[in-house]
Chain A
Amino acid sequence: MRGLTDLWITVQNWIFETFVTPVIYWLGQMAWYEPAYNAVEFFMLGVLQIAVIALGMRFFERRWPLEKSGADDRLVGVDRVYTVLNKLGVIPLAIFAITYPVTTQLEVVMRGWGYAPPRLETVVPWLRDQVFLSFLLYFFLYDFAAYWLHRAQHGLAWWWSLHSLHHSQRRVTVWTDDRNHVLDDLIVTFALVLFSQLVGVQPGEYVSILMVGRLIESWSHANVDMSFGRIGEKLIVGPRFHRLHHALANPDEPHIHDHNYAPVFPIWDILFGTAVFDGKTRPTGVDDATVDADNGKGWIAQQVAVFGRFLRAVTPRALRAPVQPGLRPPAE
């Protein structure tokens, strides 16, 4: 085990000293020396995640595909671009650069008022020495917040205009999880960081939660009809559970996609009455031609088109040009 750790550290150190250190030293940004080193690890973890997806998860998709190969195969390509940009830290870095100064300043202001965000360890001192359990509890809290944010993404018209990009994919695969508009990513990240500050999730834990959570979410988008078993599927979100959330609405089930929102722990859907475990398989996508038009576009074209949808959604109804059908959130 130490051998693997040493190998990991050696690679990280080499990348850092060869490519990163000279740049930040030259730029005079040595105050970010340690975070930059961690960013290299974030990048390496991203490479590892992509490898797990491409080699591990894809094996199951190839061996036991739910939707067979067909014309829609070409639609998957753009999702790979999203995955690479996100997992390798390009999008997260941009979002970090925007959110960090704001959230840190908020914390400074709160401290100025004498308010320190509470931590579970303060309420339950015993947790101070239980690193894993503490991590798990923060993970639950984080997922709880993510569940409600996800419901808001579907329930608010302006937010759905962005989030609909994620659902527009007719060919949901392990690459689909990262298919989001950058503004959607920014809003969700900002909200989750604020929530994390409020309940005491810390930066290190945040990254760990992100890494573990996003890997589980990649798997939950896999093009397979699998779950973690009768009990397991109620503990961890799997492909069968989450695929229902991506289901194309139909006359018999017009609101089928308004279920199974939980990112990682289905307990939230069970508790709040949005869980469905019927085991049926359904086609995926959005029954709205405007949204479905995302398919076939490249990364930039999708970002531009969806931003246009967003602008239209936030424009007062009276001022909208009547040339396009209005977007409707699927919950309506």
Chain B
Amino acid sequence: MVQGARPVLNKLAFAAAALALSLVGPAMANNVLVLNSEEASYSVIDRATRAEIQRLPVGREPHHLISTPDGKEVLIGSTVTNELLVLDSKTGEKKRVIRDIIDPYHLAFSPDGKWFVTVAYRLDHVDIFHADGFKLAGRIFIDGMPSHMAFDGASKTVYITLQQSGRVVAFDLATQAIKWNVPVGNAPAGIIMVPEDKRLVVALTGEDGVVTLDPKDGSMTGRLQTGKAAHNFWPKGDGRHWFLSNRVEGLVSVLDAQDMKVVASVKIPGGPDCMAISPDGKELWVTQRFLRRVAIVDIDTMKVIGSIPVGKSPHGVFMLQPNAPPQASSAPSKGPVVPASADQPATKR
């Protein structure tokens, strides 16, 4: 190579990269991210044209993604490479990688933003981190495929479903001690805390509905039929209603968590799983794991208005929102909100 050519080439490469980033950044705003869990990629969908505009690489087997408490970043859990990919939540631009987060299948921040919790679905453990700096506070090995989680409003307790052993276990976040551990039914998955810590609602993927638990001791207080393989929740944003995917039934129900009844539903084929609501509150996006698509539901009419092809086994879905508050706390507007499985839903893999 000619002497001096390398610095010039480096500068050109840097300029090209900067140009590419400047083009990618704004273009990503207002878009939707969908994690293709079995393709090591995520799809970027233009919400306006409802078309996939990019498919970008991300670790291996990404399942869920969440907003950071300040709403500035999005964390994608790459379960196989044991790391978190950090994106800018407005532009989708890659910012950095956080290493040594083992099998981060599901991930969530406590409502006060002080704790960061991951569950290792395949490797049977729960990791509780100090959110500031992601310093591990404690690792708890627990059999039974830990899958989804919810927090109490005071950020003292995390409740985790164990999909294979059919139990829900409550951990004290500060001490990592088990508060209670109870059987709830077959294959519990999504779990939410109803505002003001009134009750926990647990979706049973091995059955056809949900059960409610008393957060104090885990005692079962009720049961409601919703559809085969009730799986995961997403808050409608009014503090009262939650969308619930029923995977085998191919149905998304609207659950009134106050009166504990189903008030509406829509058929979504292909094992509906994670959900997210558009910033204008008009559309519900639902990943269709088996069909490699993401469906769009008009929330007013509860009708499917579109279905967009994406990658293999689409799982987590996230709305990029310029100038938006954190998605984790943008859900129900009344009472303490429990993000966890509610903020960026999850499921079995």
Contact = CB atoms under 8 A, between A and B. Distances in A.
B81 A33 contact: no
A75 B47 CA distance: 60
Contacts of A150: none
A162 B228 CA distance: 46
A129 interface: yes
B262 interface: no
B123 A31 contact: no
Contact of A204 (B60, B100, B205, B291): B60
Contact size range, B: 35 or more
Interface in B80-107: 80-82, 97, 100, 102
A116 B122 CA distance: 14
A25 B289 contact: no
Contacts of B14: none
Interface in A96-128: 104, 107-108, 111-112, 116, 119, 121-122, 125, 128
A25 B349 contact: no
A130 B205 CA distance: 35
Contacts, number: 87
A30 B82 contact: no
Interface residues of A, number: 33
Contact of B186 (A30, A121, A202): A30
Contacts of A33: 205, 229, 247, 271, 348
Identify the interface centre among A33, A119, A121: most chain B CB within 10 Å of its CB.
Answer: A33
Given A31-B187, A128-B59, A16 B122 contact: no
B344 interface: no
A291 to B, nearest CB: 42
Nearest to A6: B309
B187 A202 contact: no
A28 B270 CA distance: 20
Contacts of A119: 80-81
A9 B291 contact: yes
Interface string A1-20: 01001100100110010000
Contact of A131 (B40, B124, B206, B292): B40
B123 A111 contact: yes
B73 interface: no
A129 B57 contact: yes
Given A13-B270, A34-B313, A34-B348, A28 B186 contact: yes
Contacts of A2: 309
B164 interface: yes
A233 B107 CA distance: 48
B102 A204 contact: no
B292 A9 contact: yes
A123 to B, nearest CB: 12
Given A2-B309, A28-B206, A121-B81, A131 B57 contact: yes
Identify the interface centre among B81, B123, B145, B290: most chain A CB within 10 Å of its CB.
Answer: B290
Interface string B211-229: 0000000000000000011
Given A30-B205, A202-B80, 6 more contacts: A25-B229, A25-B248, A34-B349, A112-B141, A128-B97, A129-B57
Interface of B: 38, 40-41, 57, 59-61, 80-82, 97, 100, 102, 120, 122-125, 141, 145, 163-164, 186-187, 205-206, 228-229, 247-248, 269-271, 289-292, 309, 313, 348-349
Interface of A: 2, 5-6, 9, 12-13, 16, 21, 25, 28-31, 33-34, 37-38, 104, 107-108, 111-112, 116, 119, 121-122, 125, 128-131, 202, 204
